[in-house]
Amino acid sequence: MGIPSFSVEATANWEHLTDWAHVLEGAGFDRLLVSEHIAFGMNIDAYADPDVGGTAGGRQPTGPDGPWLEPLTVLTYLAARTERIRLGTNILLAALRPAAVLAKTVATLDVLSGGRIDLGVGVGWQREEYEVAGVDFDRRGAILDQTLEVCTRLWRENEVSYASPELTFERIHQMPKPLQPGGLPIWVSGTVNRAVARRLARFGKYWIPWGQDARDLAGGIGRMRAAVDATGGDPDGFGVTGSLRAKADADDRPDLAAVAADAAALAKAGVTDLRLTHWPPRFGNREADLRTFVEAVRGAVTA
Q: In 3D, which of 106, 109, 121 has the Cα closest to residue 82?
A: 109
The pTM for the full model equals 0.94
Q: 301 by DSSP, 3-state: which? A: helix
* The domain defined by 1-176 carries CATH number 3.20.20.30: yes
**Domain boundaries along the sequence of the chain:** 1-176
Contact assessment for residue 260 and residue 296, using Cβ atoms and an 8 Å cutoff:
yes
DSSP per-residue codes, 158-181: SSEEEE-SS-EEEEE---SPPSST
Q: At what angle do helices 15-27 and 71-79 cross, to 10 degrees?
A: 60
Angstrom distance (rounded) from CA 143 to CA 231: 19
pLDDT score of 150: 98
pLDDT score of 278: 85
Q: 33 by DSSP, 3-state: which? A: strand
Angstrom distance (rounded) from CA 188 to CA 115: 19
Angstrom distance (rounded) from CA 76 to CA 81: 9
pLDDT score of 251: 86
pLDDT score of 56: 87
Per-residue pLDDT of the chain (303 residues; tens, 9 = 90+): 999 999 988 887 899 999 999 999 999 999 999 999 999 999 989 998 888 888 888 888 999 999 999 999 999 999 999 999 999 999 999 999 999 999 999 999 999 999 999 999 999 999 999 999 999 999 999 999 999 999 999 999 999 999 998 899 999 999 999 999 999 999 999 999 999 999 999 999 999 999 999 999 999 999 999 999 999 999 999 999 999 999 888 888 889 999 999 999 999 999 999 999 888 888 877 888 999 999 999 999 887
